[in-house]
Amino acid sequence: MTKRLEAILQEVIDGRRPSTWVTRARPKIDRIACPWAVLRFIDPDATILYVPTERVLETAAAETAVAFDIPGAPISHEGEFCSFDTLLKRFDLLGDPGLAALAPIVRGADTDRHGTAPEAAGLHAISLGLAQNYDDDHALLRQGLVIYDALYAWATRARGERHAWTPGR
């Protein structure tokens, strides 16, 4: 972990680890992407809490947790940018080429601006489908982590690879 990330962790979570993060129940795009980034790049032992919307900030205070993806939280939408963008910027993670490639995809899917990245509409569809298949938010998160791991693998190792197999040619 870089000294810069350590300093940011100190500022945001008083250096406590494992950290706790809290957001609104029934996660879809941002509320899966942010925990994925937290668990993969910030604190692999973090706890993610999903609570009713009206309890997010109260729970954050009670649990000494970082609230995200809700107005008034330290990690939330800023202008045209979604919470994932804010998280990456706040934790100085945009220097990672894979995360930089994922940011417009997540933003486009989360803000219903699919023209932001060609992959945004697909992520939107997959996220809505996952939410239909899982009633338990943590089960949904576990499946979502697999999706974001795959997107990151594509962004870092397979972007530009074409698939154009045509039988009989």
Q: pLDDT by residue for the chain (169 residues), tens digit each?
A: 566 666 666 666 666 668 899 999 999 999 999 999 999 999 999 999 999 999 999 999 999 899 999 999 999 999 999 999 999 999 889 999 999 999 999 999 999 999 999 999 999 999 999 999 999 999 999 999 999 999 999 999 988 878 777 887 6
What is the structure's pLDDT at 11?
67
pTM exceeding the 0.85 threshold for the entire prediction: yes
Nearest CA-CA partner of 33 in 109, 121, 95: 109
Q: Please list, in sequence order, all residues whose beta carbon lies within 8 angstroms of the beta carbon of residue 145, skipping any fewer than 6 positions away.
A: 32, 35, 36, 39
- Those residues whose C-beta lies under 8 Å from the C-beta of residue 84, and which sit 6 or more positions away, are 29, 30, 33, 34, 37, 102, 103, 106, 107, 110
Q: Partners of 143 in the beta sheet?
A: none
The pLDDT, as a whole number, for residue 159 is 83
Pairing of strands 66-67, 20-24: parallel
pLDDT at 27: 96
In whole angstroms, give the CA distance from residue 114 to residue 126.
13
- What percentage of the chain carries pLDDT values higher than 70? 89
- At residue 4, the pLDDT reads 63
pLDDT digits (tens, 9 = 90+) for 32-53: 999 999 999 999 999 999 999 9
Supply the pLDDT for residue 14.
67
Sequence-distant (6+) residues with CB within 8 A of 160 are: none
User: Cα dihedral sign for 156, 160, 161, 166?
Assistant: positive
- Distance, in Å, from the CA atom of 19 to the CA atom of 42, rounded to the nearest integer, reads 9
DSSP assignments along 54-110, one per residue: GGHHHHHHHHT-EEBSSTTSSBS-BTTB-HHHHHHHHTT-TTSHHHHHHHHHHHHHH
Can you say whether residue 142 is alpha, beta or left, with left for phi > 0 and alpha for psi between -120 and 50 degrees? Answer: alpha
